[in-house]
Amino acid sequence: MRYLSLAATVFCVVMLFVSSNPTVLGLCLLGIFLFGLISVFAFAQAKIASSAPPVVTILSPKELAAIRERAAANKAKTAAGGGIPATGKLVPNNSDDDSD
């Protein structure tokens, strides 16, 4: 579709320079404007669609809620001292007994 509108724009430009009839000139100017605008939006849409992520990688609201719940549970577990903190660094044990 985008190449068809581009071809129509080029055709209108050629007809603009070839014709001497005022009606045809006016229609060609209108065609250049409309088909040119359509071409710009069609090529922009194609570029955006080519760089968009596939729909499969977009998470649903249920999956996002499950991830948030797991993160909150992990955060609560770490705050209670039951594991490795969210930073991934080990917390040193501050006990007073020096058993080597």
Burial class (CB in 10 A: 0-12, 13-18, 19+), 51: exposed
Question: Cα 19 from chain centroid?
Answer: 44
Work out the average pLDDT over 53-72: 85
Specify the residue for token string 């549970």: 73
Rounded to the nearest integer, the mean pLDDT of the chain is: 84
- With a pLDDT cut of 90, the percent of the chain lying above it is 53
Q: In this structure, are residues 25 and 34 in contact, taking their beta carbons and an 8 Å threshold? A: no
pTM value is 0.54
Indicate the SS3 state at residue 99: coil
In the chain, domain spans? 2-52, 53-86
Q: In this structure, are residues 8 and 20 in contact, taking their beta carbons and an 8 Å threshold? A: no
Q: How confident is the model at residue 81 (pLDDT cuts 50, 70, 90)?
A: low
